[in-house]
Amino acid sequence: MNKALRKAVIAGNWKMNKTRPEAKALIEELKPLVADAGCDVVICVPYTNLETALELTKGTNIGVGAENCHWAKSGAFTGEISADMLAEMGVQYVVIGHSERRQYFGETDVTVNKRVRAALDAGLTVILCVGELLEQREQGVTEEIVGMQTKIALQGVSEKELKKIIIAYEPVWAIGTGKTATADQADEVNGCIRGVIAKLYGKAAADAVTVQYGGSMNAGNAEELLNKEHVDGGLIGGASLKAPDFAAIVKAASR
Ligand SMILES: O=C(CO)COP(=O)(O)O
């Protein structure tokens, strides 16, 4: 079993939620609940909460991430934030290619790749999101879609740099819908992603890469999902906004 060799990572994706006082309260509540976690714990928060999150998690086991970054180092890109700006603050992680960015903000596989490149160059760890639409699952092309997204996102990424990449499989139909992929469905697609990594980088790299599942993961279903061979953690939306729920998922992932 190679699963035991891989890092389990539970990451919260707060999306566009929490003002600064709300963020402070949530982090303070969360800290003692996850202090003895047996997995990596990350919170990815809105840009406006990064400084608060970094300050409050100093000296704790909670890592801090942003939810996106631009690919340019600087320049005339009104409203955007560069990877260097995040790294300079002390941010360690960044979510890239989330389906909400792809759906609502014109993100493509090519721009995902550019952002991945910029994030790696800045020294950030990337949480790379891939996932199929319901229509694509029904058409039987899940494996092809997820494989293509993964391959294009990783163009120009070396085997060494792959150590700074976490892949999150998030079926779009399961996000925020309360409709979770079954543990077998998640395991199957996560396994396919690992197969793509094996083809691109070899077996050792594929055995080592963390592949999360995301999409309505909660305190009730986390354990079954996380027990699967290819599910190495979770990217949690709604349930990451409640400290006890998020902590229960962290507990389920702890080894
Ligand atoms: O999009 C997600 C995490 O990035 C999942 O969101 P939910 O957990 O709210 O379904």
Looking at ligand 1, which atom is closest to the CA of residue 129? 4
Element (H, E) at 4: none
Q: Does residue 227 fall inside a structural domain?
A: yes
Point out the catalytic residue in the list 98, 100, 132, 230. 98
Q: Does residue 253 fall inside a structural domain?
A: no
Q: Which of 181-197 are b and which e, b meaning 16 or more Cβ less than 10 Å from the residue's Cβ? A: bebebbbbbbbbbbebb
Q: Does residue 248 fall inside a structural domain?
A: no
Q: Is the pLDDT of residue 147 over 80?
A: yes
Q: Does residue 95 fall inside a structural domain?
A: yes
> Which residue segment(s) compose the domain that 124 sits in?
3-242
Q: Give residue-wise pLDDT tens across range 60-112.
A: 999 999 999 999 999 999 999 999 999 999 999 999 999 999 999 999 999 99
| Side chain identity, residue 167 | I
Contact assessment for residue 40 and residue 7, using Cβ atoms and an 8 Å cutoff: yes
* Residue 106 annotated as binding site: no
* Residue 15 annotated as binding site: yes
| CA–CA separation, 162 and 69 (whole Å) | 18
Q: Is the pLDDT of residue 35 over 80?
A: yes
Give the distance (Å) from ligand 1 centre to CA of residue 13: 7
Q: Does residue 250 fall inside a structural domain?
A: no
Candidate of 167, 175, 177, 180 to mutate for ligand 1, largest count of ligand atoms within 8 Å of Cβ: 175
Atom 6 in ligand 1: residue holding the nearest Cα: 237
* Residue 216 annotated as binding site: yes
Ligand 1 neighbour 176 (Cβ under 6 A): yes
CB atoms within 10 A of CB 61: 14
Instruction: Kindly state the percentage of the chain with pLDDT values over 70.
Output: 100
ipTM of the complex: 0.99
| CA–CA separation, 99 and 152 (whole Å) | 15
Q: Does residue 249 fall inside a structural domain?
A: no
Please say if 51 is a catalytic residue.
no
Q: Give residue-wise pLDDT tens across range 152-208.
A: 999 999 999 999 999 999 999 999 888 888 999 999 999 999 999 999 999 999 999
pLDDT at 5: 85
Q: Does residue 197 fall inside a structural domain?
A: yes
The 3-state DSSP class for residue 62 equals strand
Give the CATH number, domain containing residue 177: 3.20.20.70
Looking at ligand 1, which atom is closest to the CA of residue 217? 8
Share the mean pLDDT of the chain: 97
Contact assessment for residue 130 and residue 169, using Cβ atoms and an 8 Å cutoff: yes
pLDDT at 188: 98
Which among 172, 59, 166, 151 has a CA at the least distance from the CA of 119?
Answer: 166
Q: Give residue-wise pLDDT tens across range 108-141.
A: 999 999 999 999 999 999 999 999 999 999 999 9
With bands split at pLDDT 50, 70 and 90, how would you rate the model's confidence at 11?
very high
Tally of domains in the chain:
1
Would you state the structure tokens that stand for residue 173, as one six-digit string?
């139909």
Q: Does residue 139 fall inside a structural domain?
A: yes
With bands split at pLDDT 50, 70 and 90, how would you rate the model's confidence at 1?
low
